[in-house]
Amino acid sequence: MVKPRVLILRVAGTNCDNETEWAFRLAGAEPERVHINRIKRGEKKICDYQALVIPGGFSYGDDISAGKVLVNEIKHNMGEDIDRFTGEKKPLIGICNGFQVLVKAGLLPWQGKQVVSLGWNDSARFEDRWVYLKTEKNASPFLKGFPSVIKLPVAHAEGKFTVDSGTTLKKIEDGKLVFFRYCSPDGGDAEYPHNPNGSAGAIAGLTSANGLIVGMMPHPERALLKCFYPDANEGGDGEEDGYGCRFFRNIVEYIK
């Protein structure tokens, strides 16, 4: 079988594209890092790929607010293509800065007007460490085989999940659109430092109703192998793979 093609979008300030590329190679895909200018010039088309990923980093220096400049570039240059891409039920993944882009572009929690955002951490500083995450029940096939609590690293200054109203938060919860939730080591409610940014509902990631658009603040591409973990026993059930690798393998398996 031909390996699934994955487009990893990069711009000035993207800095997790190489790790994401390696993650998909380990998972059995054929990833390609593509600068947005090549798409704007028509040299590359997202319709030629089976998955689209917006990786972590600080796109355009996070000027104005995290991811906002990239959001405007995507809306003006790729908006219709992305609508067509997601309409064909192809995975769209946003990690950290990519998650910020997806929510500010109105692609999560549902496509349309922006109703949630990611802002400055309550600690008013960059939070960079491993956190515990509760894997929520939702429609996404990308959590297949995950236990109820895992550990992944975060690295962000603007990761606080906020909503425009309590009604929106209830709609997210009722619709089972939470992908990951910050938690304590035993899976209980999380306060700082387990909730590293003060997110509403301790939400660390979202998924669309069909489970194929996923955004998260944690970095699965930094948890690919057990040896990456502070405690190797927390890295997963496989001989070498960490939970990060399992996430990327699930994406590839879905495409196949």
Catalytic residue numbers, as ranges: 96, 219, 221
Q: Is the peptide bond before 193 cis (omega within 30 degrees of 0)?
A: yes
3-class secondary structure per residue, the chain: CCCCEEEEEECCCECCHHHHHHHHHHCCCEEEEEEHHHHHCCCCCHHHCCEEEECCECHHHHCCCCCHHHHHHHHHHCHHHHHHHHHCCCCEEEECHHHHHHHHCCCCCCCCCCCEEEECCCCCCCEEEEEEEEECCCCCHHHCCCCCEEEEEEEECCCEEEECCHHHHHHHHHCCCEEEEECCCCCCCCCCCCCCCCCHHHEEEEECCCCCEEEECCCHHHCCEHHHCCCHHHCCCCCCECHHHHHHHHHHHHHC
Q: Report residue 256 as tokens.
A: 């196949």
Cα separations (Å) of 180 from 2, 77, 143, 146?
31, 30, 10, 11
Cβ partners under 8 Å of residue 50, min gap 6 = 4, 5, 6, 90, 91, 255
